[in-house]
Chain A
Amino acid sequence: MTATLVKETSPPAPPGPVAERTRRLRRRGKIVALLFVFPALLLLGALVVYPVLFSVGRSFFDASGTTFVGGDNYTEMFRDPATLKAVRNTAIWVVVAPALLTGLGLILAVLVEKVRWATAFKLLLFMPMAVSFLAAGIIFRLAYDEDPDKGVLNAAVVSVHDAFKGESSYPTARARDGQGLTKEKDGSYRSAAAAPGDALTLGLVGVQPADLPGDARPAAPAAGQKAAADELRGVVYLDFTPGGGGEQGKVDARESGLPGMKVEAVRDGEPVATATTAADGSFRFEGLESGSYAVRLPASNFAPPYEGVSWLGPALVTPAIIGAYLWIWTGFAMVLIGAGLSTLPRDALEAARMDGANEWQIFRRITVPLLAPVLTVVFVTLVINVMKVFDLVYIIAPGPVQEDATVLATQMWLVSFGGGNNQGLGSALGVLLLLLVVPAMVFNVRRFRRSQR
């Protein structure tokens, strides 16, 4: 082989032996070449090509592998509710995740060009690609925890909710029947009719002394005060004396006020004034016109605390896991699209800018159409990867919700190895996964052949 070229350039020699020698050398060259590719071909043949053929064959046999069942495993796939669920979820993944990622990656790639710390930003967003799905799964199991005291997402959701809706202070409080407060349909409490100059004592029960706010003070001193002529006042107190004693419906010496309670003065069914109780549970409405009023404790005081969103419940588990997937892959989409962006002709963009096109028009009419090939590659890559998603679903979905989150890859695992032990159906699911990526296979082969011309 090595001598071939030398021979050709050397002076003419007797034809017979040279031709013989060239042939021998060429054969030796072929043997050397085969030695170079042999290890790769052996491994690919034994562990990739043979398993594909085996799985295709195995998918036509039943669970035990002894009886030929034709296409039964493939029809079973769309009849068995669990597998059908997996097919549906995979469809959701394929429709939602690549589109979101490509869009997000495009927006970020365009925006990050405008700042000076683009490299640092790209590195930060790309880094999750280096993190295992397992670690990412644990990270998001933590973040999605339903308890607002554990999961950061629900902590944020609850604090935003409470900032707008107000935090309810006394979810367990209630009034005893027949002691001045009547429960309305909407969960609020209403006092008997009162007029300016009256002082009311509104007793509630059902609050554990330990749950009282730290600044709560005894209500008795405030309860004894008289109201001015244009004033309606009173106390809201806990009608319960710790350690026993005390009289129901009366503010006893050691009974605590309920601070932070919202109170409304209502006239003809409309609230005309609002107040919040002080540390001793007292409230006052000043400057009221004479007439008949009632005092109302709105339902928001008694609403059960907002617990946030059940991210990993059956309804939201798939969107939640897709969210974790976005965390991992957005950087990939952004960097790949950004690389395409940097090859765009600068002068076309500048010319458009000179002609007075705004950024949005440039983005819509020039950037996106020119980037179409790159966007296709990113999208196709993501579709292929999304179809094979396994670890994230396996880790993030809690045991009881697994079947709501299941996708083809996890279902294939469960059916074949995780207790299902039906290797016929498992093989069929594997073949389905393979069939789904065949278009990508064709795309790759075509693209390669085109690049070789």
Chain B
Amino acid sequence: MNAVRRSLGNGVVQAFLVLVGLVWMTPLAGLFLSSLRSAEDTAKGGWWTVLSSPGQLSFDNYSALLQNAGITRAFWNTVLISVPTTVLVVVVAALAGYAFAWLDFPGRETIFLVVVALLVVPVQIGLLPVAKLFGQLGLFGTIPGVVLFHVAYGLPFAVFLLRNYFAEMPKEMLEAARMDGGTEWRIFTRLVLPVGRPAIASLAIFQFLWVWNDMLVALLFADSSAQPLTVELQSQIRQFGSNIDVLAPGAFLSLIVPVVVFFAFQKHFVQGVMAGSVK
């Protein structure tokens, strides 16, 4: 009796979870199917009509998108912003993380507590002052400006994550390396970085996706020649409804890179996000 009820209960649970899964997939499926339909078909009916007339589907929107100079330049800008940001965050945070974990300097504990406090500082508070600062330095509107801003606001979490990871390294290992006469730089590049690879990978993936997906920072700091895909698409949202044949494939192009990265490195990404909770 109990077993029957349990297996019945399990059937209900399975059905419920399948339903939830379908609900979760529908919006994304809707975007993808919309991106494959012509403007005329979109005006006539919803994307679900392809289930009865699959002839509507074609890659014409995508080939048009790749001919669109604004979109392709924005795509490359996205790459030019997110790759250097990721590299810089990892390098700068690894250096600092190692110092906070194993090197001795005055005020080490206090400064690190400040870094922990900075974890939750909202990006918004930096927009106005940094815009003024970049204006004076001639960085406003440029890709390096956007990169620097992202690096600075990515650092608290990055330093926090790597310092905690490095601090777990066995003390004997470092002391042995020091006794062998290695300089700190050598120890850092030959020992700390290789040992820290899992944490660095998590950080890099998390940071890459974060910057790739950013809109707010680039909306302010990038001028029209430096703007990434998110800002380019955002600028077309005003005509929403009449330009689904541009917006839908554009949005799909912008999300396919993170989704592929996510599936390729899901373990690292999930770890990165979980370590970043309470950020």
Give the residues in chain A near B113, CB-CB below 8 Å.
Answer: 445, 448-449
A322 interfacial contact with B, CB 8 Å: no
Give the residues in chain A near B214, CB-CB below 8 Å.
Answer: 132
Task: Give CA–CA (A444, B151) in the complex, Å.
Answer: 21
Task: Give CA–CA (A51, B209) in the complex, Å.
Answer: 25
B215 to chain A, nearest CB (A): 5
B4 interfacial contact with A, CB 8 Å: no
In the complex, the answer to whether B24 meets A124 with C-beta atoms within 8 Å is: yes
What per-residue 1/0 map shows which CB atoms of B248-277 lie under 8 Å from chain A? 100110110011011100100110011001
Give the residues in chain A near B46, CB-CB below 8 Å.
Answer: 148-152, 155
In the complex, the answer to whether B27 meets A139 with C-beta atoms within 8 Å is: yes
In the complex, the answer to whether A43 meets B216 with C-beta atoms within 8 Å is: no
Question: In chain B between 58 and 108, which residues have their CB closer than 8 angstroms to a CB of chain A?
Answer: 92-93, 95-96, 98-100, 103-106, 108
In the complex, the answer to whether A55 meets B125 with C-beta atoms within 8 Å is: yes
A177 to chain B, nearest CB (A): 38
In the complex, the answer to whether B105 meets A30 with C-beta atoms within 8 Å is: yes
B130 interfacial contact with A, CB 8 Å: yes
Interface SS of chain B: helix
A41-B111, A143-B27, A378-B277 in contact; A384/B220 too (CB < 8 A)? no
- Partner of A48 from the list B21, B153, B261 (CB cut-off 8 Å) is B153
In the complex, the answer to whether A395 meets B128 with C-beta atoms within 8 Å is: no
Give the residues in chain A near B111, CB-CB below 8 Å.
Answer: 37, 41
In the complex, the answer to whether B215 meets A47 with C-beta atoms within 8 Å is: no
Give the residues in chain B near A115, CB-CB below 8 Å.
Answer: 10, 13-14, 17
Give the residues in chain B near A363, CB-CB below 8 Å.
Answer: none
Give the residues in chain A near B179, CB-CB below 8 Å.
Answer: 5-6
Give the residues in chain B near A127, CB-CB below 8 Å.
Answer: 259, 262-263
What per-residue 1/0 map shows which CB atoms of A259-285 lie under 8 Å from chain B? 000000000000000000000000000
What per-residue 1/0 map shows which CB atoms of A47-67 lie under 8 Å from chain B? 111111011001000000000
Question: In chain B between 5 and 38, which residues have their CB closer than 8 angstroms to a CB of chain A?
Answer: 9-10, 13-14, 16-17, 20-21, 24-28, 30-31, 34
In the complex, the answer to whether B21 meets A51 with C-beta atoms within 8 Å is: no
In the complex, the answer to whether A132 meets B24 with C-beta atoms within 8 Å is: no
B169 interfacial contact with A, CB 8 Å: no
Interface size class of B (residues with CB under 8 A): 35 or more
Task: Give CA–CA (A206, B116) in the complex, Å.
Answer: 71
What per-residue 1/0 map shows which CB atoms of A387-427 lie under 8 Å from chain B? 11011001100110000000001001100110000010011
Task: Give CA–CA (A135, B175) in the complex, Å.
Answer: 49
In the complex, the answer to whether A40 meets B96 with C-beta atoms within 8 Å is: yes
B212 to chain A, nearest CB (A): 7
Interface SS of chain A: helix
A93 interfacial contact with B, CB 8 Å: no
In the complex, the answer to whether B278 meets A440 with C-beta atoms within 8 Å is: yes
In the complex, the answer to whether B104 meets A40 with C-beta atoms within 8 Å is: no
B129 to chain A, nearest CB (A): 4
Task: Give CA–CA (A134, B113) in the complex, Å.
Answer: 34
Q: Select from chain A the residue with minimum beta-carbon distance to B216.
A: A390
A417 to chain B, nearest CB (A): 6
B218 to chain A, nearest CB (A): 10
Task: Give CA–CA (A115, B118) in the complex, Å.
Answer: 41
A434 interfacial contact with B, CB 8 Å: yes
Q: Select from chain B the residue with minimum beta-carbon distance to A447.
A: B278
Give the residues in chain A near B175, CB-CB below 8 Å.
Answer: 5
A10 to chain B, nearest CB (A): 12
Which of A76-84, A106-114, A165-173 lies at the interface with chain B?
A106-114
Task: Give CA–CA (A443, B121) in the complex, Å.
Answer: 13
In the complex, the answer to whether A40 meets B105 with C-beta atoms within 8 Å is: no
Task: Give CA–CA (A139, B254) in the complex, Å.
Answer: 12
In the complex, the answer to whether A49 meets B122 with C-beta atoms within 8 Å is: no
Task: Give CA–CA (A3, B183) in the complex, Å.
Answer: 10
Give the residues in chain A near B129, CB-CB below 8 Å.
Answer: 50-51, 54-55, 58
A interface residues (Cβ-Cβ under 8 A, vs B): 1-3, 5-6, 26, 29-30, 32-34, 36-37, 39-41, 43-44, 46-52, 54-55, 58, 108, 111-112, 114-115, 121, 123-135, 137-143, 145, 148-152, 155, 327, 332, 335-336, 339, 359, 377-378, 380-381, 384, 387-388, 390-391, 394-395, 398-399, 409, 412-413, 416-417, 423, 426-427, 429-431, 433-434, 437, 440-441, 443-445, 447-449
Other than the known A51-B130, A381-B279, A434-B121, what 11 A-B pairs have Cβ atoms closer than 8 Å? A36-B103, A40-B96, A108-B20, A123-B266, A127-B263, A132-B214, A134-B254, A141-B237, A384-B279, A395-B237, A431-B125
B interface residues (Cβ-Cβ under 8 A, vs A): 9-10, 13-14, 16-17, 20-21, 24-28, 30-31, 34, 42, 44-48, 92-93, 95-96, 98-100, 103-106, 108, 111, 113-130, 133, 148-149, 151-153, 155-156, 159, 175, 178-179, 181-184, 188, 209, 212-216, 220, 230, 233-234, 237-238, 240-241, 244, 247-248, 251-252, 254-255, 258-259, 261-263, 266, 269-270, 273-274, 277-279
